[in-house]
């Protein structure tokens, strides 16, 4: 029971760091690109309450991946439409990867913190979850399905808007819902091979974490 409590507390604390940094990165780059929509909408902030989506938050705790409320932007305000749209789209995942890079050495250093029972356990687990969830959020948001960042990146370079494009934008989200449902079924039934989304995300996370681990491995 204690381990489960530590896990839930650590995940929640990690999300207080991971999600706001992701969304603020979108808002920051949009603001610097002369679109003040995020600022006017109250999203130009690191306050977690401004960015949390309840369903996405629950998914993070239960399934290990989830989402926050998308930051509203108006590309019509950008100085350079395609370039600024691209930069705003990748800002969140770039921030997540940088967060994982910065927090991994903090986790390594936390093993030298004197033992203070629950505090030490929560501290170490929180730092570890910041690294892990940052990479998971990075990979999850790169899925090319609307309204995730991966779709927005592709959308920056699509010139031809045809029927397939609009159908994919409208119904692609149902593919994501189906994959999430499979993750729930896999967790409930123990048939983990059904968790296609989780398996794919974990694989990519392990791959992109290699450079971070290799770099800090030269020091620690």
* Residues acting as catalytic residues: 23
How far apart, in Å, do the first and last CA atoms of the chain sit?
A: 33
CA distance 189 to 40: 45
Closest CA to 96 of 214, 219, 198, 208: 208
Decide: 141 and 22 in contact? Cβ < 8 Å. Answer: yes
The alpha carbon of 24 is separated from its chain's Cα centroid by a whole number of angstroms, namely 12
The alpha carbon of 12 is separated from its chain's Cα centroid by a whole number of angstroms, namely 14
Q: Which two tokens stand for residue 131?
A: 């690294």
């Amino acid at each position: 029971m204690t381990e489960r409590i530590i896990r839930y507390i650590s995940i929640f604390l990690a999300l207080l760091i991971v999600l706001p940094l992701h969304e603020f990165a979108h808002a920051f780059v949009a603001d610097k690109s002369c679109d003040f929509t995020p600022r006017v909408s109250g999203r130009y902030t690191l306050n977690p309450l401004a960015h949390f989506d309840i369903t996405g938050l629950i998914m993070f705790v239960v399934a290990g991946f989830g989402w926050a409320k998308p930051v509203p932007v108006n590309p019509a305000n950008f100085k350079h439409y395609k370039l600024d749209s691209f930069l705003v789209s990748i800002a969140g995942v770039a921030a997540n990867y940088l967060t994982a890079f910065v927090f991994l050495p903090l986790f390594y250093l936390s093993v030298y913190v004197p033992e203070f029972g629950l505090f030490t356990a929560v501290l170490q687990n929180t730092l570890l979850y910041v690294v892990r969830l940052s990479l998971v959020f990075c990979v999850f948001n790169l899925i090319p399905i609307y309204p995730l960042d991966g779709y927005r990146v592709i959308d920056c370079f699509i010139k031809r808007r045809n029927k397939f494009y609009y159908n994919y934008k409208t119904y692609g989200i149902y593919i994501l819902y189906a994959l999430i449902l499979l993750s729930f079924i896999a967790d409930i039934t123990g048939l983990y091979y059904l968790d296609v989304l989780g398996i794919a995300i974990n694989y990519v996370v392990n791959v992109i974490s290699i450079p971070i681990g290799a770099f800090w491995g030269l020091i620690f």
